[in-house]
Amino acid sequence: MKKIIISFAFVCVALISTRSFAQTIQNSSYSTVGYVKNDGTVQNENYSTIGYIKDDGTVQNSSYSTIGYIKSDGTIQNSSYSTIGYIKSDGTVQNSSYSTIGYIKEDGTLQNASYSTIGYAKDVNQTKAAAAVFFFFFRLN
């Protein structure tokens, strides 16, 4: 009995650890398109690393070349520091002309400007979700 309880506890810890280790990015059909790990590693649906989102907002491709930045004020820039968009505190995503191009809802739902759901980034922090959307998965810009 003790062995069964220990095994069950191990399985529970493994499941909890896996859930907190990487958050899933899905398209509107709930098919997985990628993952964002807690350390900022971005993976495609096959778990191949396609990029990194650093804590300072630097976004890199799989070769560690900088492809953009997400500033603390929500400004999204390309590698040349040109502003390509904004993520507002309410989750509104705008292009460089301040036109709304999408939304990242509190529950992780990703919507285009017409409020149609284009995907889901549940449990992904808003900044990392914006970086994943802009630079890796949905290309709103």
Does the pLDDT value for residue 39 go beyond 60?
Answer: yes
pLDDT of residue 132: 82
The model carries a pTM of: 0.77
Lowest mean pLDDT across 5-9, 23-27, 44-48: 5-9
Could you tell me the pLDDT band of residue 21, with boundaries at 50, 70 and 90?
low
Q: Is the pLDDT higher at 117 or at 141? A: 117
End-to-end Cα spacing for the chain: 57
Could you tell me the pLDDT band of residue 138, with boundaries at 50, 70 and 90?
low
If you average pLDDT over residues 6-17, what whole number do you get?
35
pLDDT of residue 128: 84
Task: Tell me the C-alpha distance between 138 and 96, whole Å.
Answer: 17
CB 75 within 8 A of CB 83: yes
Query: Can you name the residues that pair with 68 across neighbouring β-strands?
Result: 59, 78
Task: Tell me the C-alpha distance between 20 and 95, whole Å.
Answer: 31
pLDDT tens string 61-113: 999 999 999 999 999 999 999 999 999 999 999 999 999 999 999 898 999 99
